[in-house]
Amino acid sequence: MKAVYYRRFGGPEVLEFDELPDPAPGPNGVLVRTRAAGVNPLDWKAREGLLAPFADAVFPVVGGFDVAGTVERVGASVTEFAPGDEVMGYVWQDLLRTGTFAELVVAPVRTLARKPADLTWEEAAALPLAGLAAYQSVVHRLGVRAGETVLVHAAAGGVGLLAVQLARWRGARVIGTASEHNHDFLRELGVQPVAYGGALAERVRRLAPDGVDAVLDAVGRRVLRASAELLRPAGRLVSLVEPRVTELGGSYVFARPDAVDLAALGRLAEEKRLAVEVARTYPLEQAAEAQQLLREGHTRGKLVLTVGA
């Protein structure tokens, strides 16, 4: 099979595109023929060795965590899927070794859900990791309720766009920080946009003089303290990028594979309550270029690699 992989940690230059042996699914795995693979910040963090505290690497490491494709073969104990099923998944494993930037992907059954029929392969590949991060933050950790005011940082990013839609689905009023060229787009989603930069808290206060009930941070340190100060009594704060959010009384969320949550996201997409924004697609062999663009930031929605026909 063709795959994008790296033999050592480093920048985009360590990525190789070449043949590797076809993987076997094992008794609890599903072999997926990839149609598209989402690109996430987790990809370049893994490539640069920043995930060492979370997972050991066994080189060569095939990059990627998001996949959408067709089941090729199932392990002996797998009853949930059969060859020919269309699936999507966030394929996080305990070792960095067999990722999704490949023509064939081995996915533990717990990481997969059925692909929504109305989503393209690219949209389905863009949903799992970002969608789970948003869903587990908005629904499980923040427990957003109808009538609340929620502040989402990086609201036009891959996670942010899904988070604002989920918060709106839960009945919340949503304020979102984003670059000004994305403000009209956010307004179309029912979000009140706020520009980045100095005096951020003051701009949010103009929209919510009494503060906000919940904050979802996908930016990091420079907005965390202001976010904590904007919270109403009993307000909740979650960060997807800064573990030290706990020092401010908040929670850190590292998205985890969850077939039930992923299926819930699929149903919301089928019900047209959740739209997936694909900013740009690349062929598999251009994974380095896609990762570099994502590393530089300011991408609305998701970048996706296309694989095969």
Where a domain ends, among 237, 252, 267? 252
In a domain? residue 162: yes
Based on the fold, state whether residues 74 and 46 are members of the same structural domain. Answer: yes
Confidence (pLDDT) at 89: 98
Based on the fold, state whether residues 30 and 101 are members of the same structural domain. Answer: yes
Work out how many domains the chain is built from and give that number.
2
In a domain? residue 177: yes
Q: What CATH number is associated with residue 89? A: 3.90.180.10
Question: Quick check: 67 and 100 in contact, CB under 8 A?
Answer: yes
Q: Is the pTM of this model over 0.85?
A: yes
Based on the fold, state whether residues 117 and 7 are members of the same structural domain. Answer: yes
Based on the fold, state whether residues 108 and 136 are members of the same structural domain. Answer: no
Contacts of 188 (CB under 8 A, 6+ apart): none
Based on the fold, state whether residues 102 and 145 are members of the same structural domain. Answer: no
Based on the fold, state whether residues 108 and 8 are members of the same structural domain. Answer: yes
Query: Which is nearest to 39 in space by CA: 95, 100, 81?
Result: 100
In a domain? residue 270: no
For residue 181, the enclosing domain spans 130-252
In a domain? residue 172: yes
Under DSSP, the state recorded for 63 is P
Query: Which is nearest to 63 in space by CA: 16, 26, 21?
Result: 16
Q: What is the distance in angstroms between the CA of the first residue and the CA of the last residue of the chain?
A: 14
Structure token pair of residue 149: 């005011």
Structure token pair of residue 262: 């992923």
In a domain? residue 267: no
Give the Cβ contact number of residue 54 at 10 Å.
13
How far apart are alpha carbons 129 and 107 in whole angstroms? 14
Based on the fold, state whether residues 144 and 224 are members of the same structural domain. Answer: yes
In a domain? residue 9: yes
DSSP 125-192: HHSHHHHHHHHIIIIIIS---TT-EEEETTTTSHHHHHHHHHHHHTT-EEEEE--GGGHHHHHHTTEE
DSSP 77-129: T--S--TT-EEEEE---SEESS-SSBSEEEEEGGGEEEPPTTS-HHHHHHSHH
Tell me the pLDDT of the chain (309 aa) as tens digits: 999 999 999 999 999 999 999 999 999 999 999 999 999 999 999 999 999 888 999 999 999 999 999 999 999 999 999 999 999 999 999 899 999 999 999 999 999 999 999 999 999 999 999 999 999 999 999 999 999 999 999 999 999 999 999 999 999 999 999 999 999 999 999 999 999 888 899 999 999 999 999 999 998 877 899 999 999 999 999 999 999 999 999 999 999 999 999 999 999 999 999 999 999 999 999 999 999 999 887 678 999 999 976
Query: Which is nearest to 41 in space by CA: 295, 218, 217, 239?
Result: 295
Based on the fold, state whether residues 27 and 73 are members of the same structural domain. Answer: yes
In a domain? residue 265: no
SS3 of 56, please? Answer: strand
Structure token pair of residue 147: 């009538």
In a domain? residue 266: no
Is 266 buried (19+), middle (13-18) or exposed (0-12) by CB count in 10 A? buried
What are the angstrom distances between the C-alpha of 177 and each of 81, 130, 195, 266?
40, 17, 6, 26
Based on the fold, state whether residues 119 and 143 are members of the same structural domain. Answer: no
Structure token pair of residue 274: 């959740």
Based on the fold, state whether residues 58 and 99 are members of the same structural domain. Answer: yes
Q: In what order do the strands lie in the sheet with 2-6?
A: 15-19, 2-6, 61-62
Based on the fold, state whether residues 192 and 212 are members of the same structural domain. Answer: yes
Based on the fold, state whether residues 34 and 110 are members of the same structural domain. Answer: yes
